[in-house]
Amino acid sequence: MIDRELFRKVRQIEITTGRLVDDALAGEYHSVFKGQGMEYEEVRPYQPGDDIRTIDWNVTSRSGTLHVKKYVEERELTVILLVDCSRSTRFGTGMKSKAEVAAEIAAILAFSAIRNNDRVGAVLFTGEVEKYIPPRKGTRHVLRLVREILAYDARRRDTDLRGALEFIVRVMKKRCIVFMISDFFDADFEQTLRLTARKHDIVAVSTNDRGEMNLPRSAWVQFEDMETGKVSWMPTFVPRVRARYREKMMSFRQQRTALFHRHKVDHVEIFADEPYDKPLIKFFQRRAQRQRH
């Protein structure tokens, strides 16, 4: 029963996200995430107008005629999905939780990558890195990633973004694209983010829910911190309490955005209770426009 339900969810995500990728994102992805440099392909005879810096002097001396090295763009990239599986991501006031939306976003990014023959891997983390799926190509591999993200039963409740980023630096020796998919309810990871962003191309995808932004107008309401288990009571019938809570949440969002801006990390803000296609498309378009200038 569980396996059948999971298969249905994965299949539905494949259909839904695949349509979005084919209709709107595949071309945008290709134009935004380019290869990491130039790759040697072959040697050919020199032609007028060729850059003299590309002359292969070894071949030239052996053959007695000028030859140049021909290069092509090194197109293949490695994409890592760094997915937060902490307890707070299970929150949701709409049809889907933040964790379910994170799985769909991961699928969109993964399908976009394999459409361009790139490799995709995943790191599932909480207060520690709990699962690492090495980068590979192919649709079957992407479906496995989606299935793992959807079905993963995390051992811990908390979040350690610093540890997750340190794992990326330690394991990924070559430059790669890292999509951090998290609600970012954590602190003390700025220094590690700064260092990681120097080596890898990081894109922060923050998952949110409008229900987190405002307290319900009610009576005394019991709240449980999903990551620590701590229980507290709040008089949500008091306007000042609701206003203070909203101010804190707005401040958190502003500080999070400023953090990414300081370290030149692209940021996409997604709300689990709203469609996510427009924010993703706008991100790709914004980045493509920036690269053209």
pLDDT digit string, tens, across residues 11-25:
888 887 777 887 777
Q: Say yes or no to pLDDT of 220 above 80.
A: yes
Do 72 and 41 form a contact (C-beta atoms < 8 A)? Answer: yes
pLDDT of residue 74: 52
Q: Say yes or no to pLDDT of 34 above 70.
A: no
Complete domains list, the chain, with CATH: 2-33+78-292 (3.40.50.410), 40-73 (no CATH)
- DSSP code string of the chain: -HHHHHHHHHHHHHHHHHHHIIIIIHHHHHHHS--SSEEEEEEEE--TT--GGGB-HHHHHHHSS-EEEEEEE----EEEEEEE-SGGGG--SSSS-HHHHHHHHHHHHHHHHHHTT-EEEEEEESSSEEEEEEEE-SHHHHHHHHHHHHH---S-SS--HHHHHHHHHHH--S--EEEEEE-----S-HHHHHHHHHHSEEEEEEEE-GGGTS--S-SEEEEE-TTT--EEEEETTSHHHHHHHHHHHHHHHHHHHHHHHHTT-EEEEEETTS--HHHHHHHHHHHHHHHH-
> For the residues 191-205, what does the mean pLDDT come to?
96
Distance CA 149, CA 179 (A): 14
pLDDT of residue 1: 40
pLDDT of residue 75: 58
Q: Say yes or no to pLDDT of 142 above 80.
A: yes
pTM (predicted TM-score): 0.82
Residue with tokens 């130039």: 38
Q: For all residues of the chain together, what is the average pLDDT?
A: 87
Distance CA 146, CA 6 (A): 10
Contacts of residue 207, Cβ cutoff 8 Å, sequence gap at least 6: 84, 89, 98, 101, 102, 105, 181, 182, 183, 270, 272
Q: Say yes or no to pLDDT of 145 above 80.
A: yes
Q: Say yes or no to pLDDT of 72 above 60.
A: no
> For the residues 70-96, what does the mean pLDDT come to?
84
State pLDDT tens for residues 112-121: 888 888 999 9
Is the model more confident about 24 or about 289?
289
Distance CA 145, CA 147 (A): 5
Q: Say yes or no to pLDDT of 291 above 80.
A: no
Provide the percentage of residues in the chain whose pLDDT is more than 90: 49
State pLDDT tens for residues 119-132: 999 999 999 999 99
